[in-house]
């Protein structure tokens, strides 16, 4: 079932664990690709690691947008990172998707590639699903070709909570969550 805006109208640290086990759906050229979210991180205005911590700028403006929209940015000149905006309009707050696992590789990928590593990491999953800054600010819904679906009814995986990765500030906040038994998690 499609995750609607109301799902995202909560603090990022409440939404982030609830997104584990949900599915990202990407539609390209009429084909749908799906990936189960296995690792997330939360960021918000109270947190010095958050891009919107200081002020709203051209680069980060979409993290201040409506809950249920996308915040996509370029990092290290090479990779994109995909976030889902949470909480409320004009408050900067989002969940970074750090890893997904998919069964069917997109057609643009080498079929001999190991599918279970293809979405292991925030930059890699954006490559896998062709997520770039063209999608920055969009509403996550089928008519934009990128959306989220809720967990299956029998979801029962164990969720772990720990500190975030790759940041220099706010390193002690336990705002990373992952599914324990999944292969694509960055570090456990």
Partner DNA sequence: GACGGGATCCGG
Partner DNA sequence: CGGATCCCGTCG
Q: Answer for the pair 33, 102: CB distance below 8 angstroms, yes or no.
A: yes
148: which strand partners?
24
Nearer to DNA, 30 or 58 (CB): 58
Nearer to DNA, 137 or 145 (CB): 137
Asked whether position 79 contacts DNA by CB under 7 A, the answer is yes
Nearest to 99 by CA among 167, 155, 178, 175: 178
Q: How far is CA 65 from CA 5, 23, 102, 151, in A?
A: 12, 22, 28, 25
d(CA 54, CA 48): 8
Nearer to DNA, 27 or 124 (CB): 124
Q: Which residue from 29, 30, 76, 143 is in contact with DNA, where contact means CB under 7 A?
A: 76
What is the CB neighbour count within 10 angstroms for residue 158? 9
String of contacts with DNA for each residue 165-184, x by CB under 7 A: xxxx----------------
Asked whether position 55 contacts DNA by CB under 7 A, the answer is yes
d(CA 160, CA 19): 13
Entry field: residues in the chain: 188
Asked whether position 43 contacts DNA by CB under 7 A, the answer is yes
Asked whether position 121 contacts DNA by CB under 7 A, the answer is yes
String of contacts with DNA for each residue 1-40, x by CB under 7 A: ----------------------------------------
Binding site for DNA (CB under 7 A): 41, 43, 49-52, 54-55, 57-60, 63, 71, 74-79, 81, 83, 94, 96, 121-125, 165-168, 186
């Amino acid at each position: 079932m499609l995750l609607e805006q109301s799902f995202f109208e909560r603090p990022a640290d409440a939404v982030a664990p609830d997104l584990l086990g949900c599915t990202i759906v990407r539609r390209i050229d009429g084909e749908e690709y799906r990936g189960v979210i296995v690792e997330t991180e939360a960021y918000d205005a109270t947190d010095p690691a958050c891009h919107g911590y200081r002020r709203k700028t051209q680069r980060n403006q979409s993290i201040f947008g409506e809950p249920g929209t996308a915040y996509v940015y370029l990092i290290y000149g090479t990779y994109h990172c995909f976030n889902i905006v949470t909480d409320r309009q004009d408050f900067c707050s989002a969940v970074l998707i750090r890893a997904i696992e998919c069964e069917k590789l997109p057609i643009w990928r080498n079929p001999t590639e190991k599918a279970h590593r293809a979405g292991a990491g925030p930059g890699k999953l954006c490559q896998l699903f062709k997520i770039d800054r063209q999608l920055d600010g969009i509403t996550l819904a089928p008519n934009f070709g990128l959306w989220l679906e809720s967990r299956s009814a029998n979801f029962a995986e164990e969720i772990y909570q720990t500190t975030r990765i790759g940041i220099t500030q706010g390193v002690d906040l336990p705002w990373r969550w992952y599914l324990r038994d999944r292969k694509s998690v960055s570090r456990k």
